Amino acid sequence: MMKIYWTVMYHVPIAEIFIMGYCLYRFAKSFMENKKWAFCVGVTYSITMLMLYVIPIHFDKIVAYIIGILTAFIVMCRTDRRNYEQKIFISVTFFSMRGLTSAMAEILYDKLYSFAENTTYMTNHPNMDFALYVAVCIFYLILEFLFMIIGIWYILKAYKYKYTYMEKKELLILIIPPFMGVVGYEIMWYYRNFYIGKTGKTPDVYDALTLLYYAISVIMIVVVIVLYQGIKAKQEEKLQNELLAVQIGNIRQHIEHVESLYKNIRSIKHDMTNHIFTLERLYETNKAEEARTYSKDLKAALAEMTGEIKSGNPVTDVILQELKDEAEKKKIHFKSDFHYPAASNINAFDVSVILNNALQNAMENAEKSSMPWIHILSYRNNNAYMIEISNSFDGNLKWDTESGLPVTSKRKKDRHGYGLANIRRMAEKYAGDIDIVYENGEFRLSIMMMLE
């Protein structure tokens, strides 16, 4: 019977190792681009811990935990070579929660086993000792798994910006709670074991306080992440609003440009009688060549003032013309088949925000490709107004699984990375949405807006 007891005792830590490996896999999976490599992280941790357990060399529990998480950290860094600060956060948080949840489960395990062992039923049925031991061991494993997986679930739910780069200051803020939890865990666990070694009994009051401390430590880790992510979300919203304010300023400049354009047109219209009279006199005096030159110069002046693009709205005309000119300076082929939905509920300002954001993004992506081009198209499909902006793109896209949008490649987002979010906001204003397709070197953004 003692051999059976020892067999169970030997295999419980092995089961615990694989449970924790699975939890680490679930934790790392949400932060890594390649989910298969996240599985390798969990397996590496489990194999390392298993080797430390079976080799005939004694390792202190905390040392074994450190070695296990270090190997997992190395695998994370080797398989996903970016955002190393975030990987430190994952490793430290998991390391802390691993110790705290294990200690919580062990205290509850001890109390339950002590209580059940001294019941009248167990006293009268000593043959049930082994069954009780197995049941309590299973209870311990289930409890440890639940504490760990629930904590990870709350962290992943609160951590909204999983694919953005973590700054060093952000890392420092987020690892202080898990670090303090580990320090407190070591101190309190040392005195608990010291008391048990001296008295042979578990300290009931001390255990209750210790359990409370461990639970509060885990909760604080989660709460700090929730609060920080909430602050970060407000900062993101503030930056989006600032970007929108800048775009509003750009739209005002476009409107001023349109007003200036109309003043020039009125001026030409006012002088048109004189221009026609001049042409007539040139033809009357048989100066056809001079008349053609004069007419050509007049056409050029009109084209320069009004621009080549005629979209059906003066504001969108100006925006598209300016972006076309900018594209041509960068040697990007620009083609526009855009037509503004006249006599509709769609506001020109909202369309201008979409065009500015989408075409600036297209410009940044296209100029990096070997054969740069941009094509904008609009059309009506039943009650939906569609805008499609395509551009050449030779890079790789990284997707945010929560927003469904590509993640900016810039380390510091600043004002970058919010264009698509603002476009989606404008589309949703008209009960629409956006869709992104990337295939065969073409990035295509489709915006749908519902017409009344």
Q: How far apart are CA 340 and CA 344, in angstroms?
A: 9
Predicted pLDDT at 153: 92
Query: 234 versus 330: which is more confidently predicted?
Result: 330
- Binned at pLDDT 50, 70 and 90, residue 19 comes out as very high
Predicted pLDDT at 87: 93
Q: Which residue has the tokens 């109390």?
A: 111
Q: How far apart are CA 345 and CA 146, in angstroms?
A: 53
Predicted pLDDT at 264: 62
Q: How far apart are CA 288 and CA 292, in angstroms?
A: 6
- Binned at pLDDT 50, 70 and 90, residue 385 comes out as very high
Q: Would you state the structure tokens that stand for residue 212, as one six-digit string?
A: 């409370």
Residue pLDDT, tens place only, 134-146: 888 899 999 999 9
| DSSP class of 415 | T
Predicted pLDDT at 413: 47
| % of the chain surpassing 90 pLDDT | 24
- Binned at pLDDT 50, 70 and 90, residue 325 comes out as confident
162 SS3 class = coil
Residue pLDDT, tens place only, 207-231: 888 888 889 999 999 889 888 888 8
The residue count for the chain: 452
| DSSP class of 126 | G
Beta pairing, strands 433-439 & 442-450: antiparallel
- Binned at pLDDT 50, 70 and 90, residue 16 comes out as very high
Q: Which helix (H) or strand (E) holds 152?
A: helix 129-158
* Packing angle, helices 348-366 and 204-284, rounded to 10: 100
Q: Which helix (H) or strand (E) holds 337?
A: strand 333-337
Q: How far apart are CA 437 and CA 404, in angstroms?
A: 11
pTM: 0.65
Q: Terminus-to-terminus CA distance in the chain, angstroms?
A: 80
Domains of the chain as residue ranges with CATH:
2-238 (no CATH), 309-450 (3.30.565.10)
Predicted pLDDT at 54: 86
* CB contact at 8 A, 449 and 384: yes
Residue by residue, DSSP assigns 192-215 as: HHHHHHHHSS--HHHHHHHHHHHH
Most confident of the ranges 90-99, 183-192, 248-257, 357-366: 90-99
Q: What is the mean pLDDT of residues 238-245?
A: 70
